[in-house]
Amino acid sequence: MKHKCFISFKTEDILYKETIQNDLDVDMIDKSLNEPINSENEEYIMRKIREDYLKDSTVTICLIGKHSAENNLYENQHYIKRELQASLYNDPNGILGIVLPEMTDKIYKGTYTCETCGQEHNYVAIDDNTVIKEFSTNYYIPDHEGCAWGIDDRYCILVKWEDFINSPNLYIDAAFDKRSAPVRKKITVFPK
């Protein structure tokens, strides 16, 4: 089944976006913005993105590169933040975060032994230093039980670039399926 996908990205990561669009065997209807909107008015630009691109999309693909963090003092994150907010609002899109190669070691930190349960857990650094708050809050949903987050405790799907390019449709389908999962009720559109 083809899903209508919108790709949210920083300009520095456009080559990855173009690889998804042109080089991978992805079964999707591309709803991405490919030409800049000719305006300096941020409100107008976001309205056009919501109306013309996000309105009927079902999956938002977020490219997570070194310019995508909430705490990046040198980057304007307004557009990617508002694209994700619009994606999560009302009838939310599934959210798929693709960790680009330069961020893999900054996000995937190995395993640790949990002091609560004694089990090994993966340490995945999804926080303000690696992604925008709209992603991290819906990846590590605050209201969950247990010592670690399982797949059912997360709305966002996360995948390394190298895994995504091998099975893109698997991960797009997983993000789409979150739209009907119980965790959908715990989405935060405007995190603080």
State the average pLDDT over residues 61-86.
Answer: 90
Under DSSP, the state recorded for 51 is I
Confirm whether pTM is higher than 0.75: yes
The dihedral through the CA atoms of 51, 53, 54, 58 has a sign that is positive
Structure tokens that stand for 15 in this block: 């080559």
H helices, E strands: number in the chain: 7, 7
Q: What is the mean pLDDT of the chain?
A: 93
User: What is the predicted pLDDT for the residue at 163?
Assistant: 98
Is-contact 68 15, C-beta < 8 A?
no
**Band (65; pLDDT cuts 50, 70, 90):** very high
Cα-flanking dihedrals φ and ψ of residue 40, to 5°? Answer: -100, -5
User: What is the predicted pLDDT for the residue at 38?
Assistant: 87
pLDDT, one tens digit per residue, over 28-58 is 999 998 888 888 888 898 888 889 889 899 9
**Band (111; pLDDT cuts 50, 70, 90):** very high
Give the residue from 108, 104, 79, 106 showing the smallest Cα distance to 7: 79
Amino acid at 69: A
pLDDT, one tens digit per residue, over 113-172 is 999 899 999 999 999 999 999 999 999 999 888 889 999 999 999 999 999 999 999 999
Mean pLDDT is lowest, of 15-19, 58-62, 115-119, for: 115-119
User: What is the predicted pLDDT for the residue at 80?
Assistant: 93
90: left (phi over 0), alpha (psi -120 to 50) or beta: left
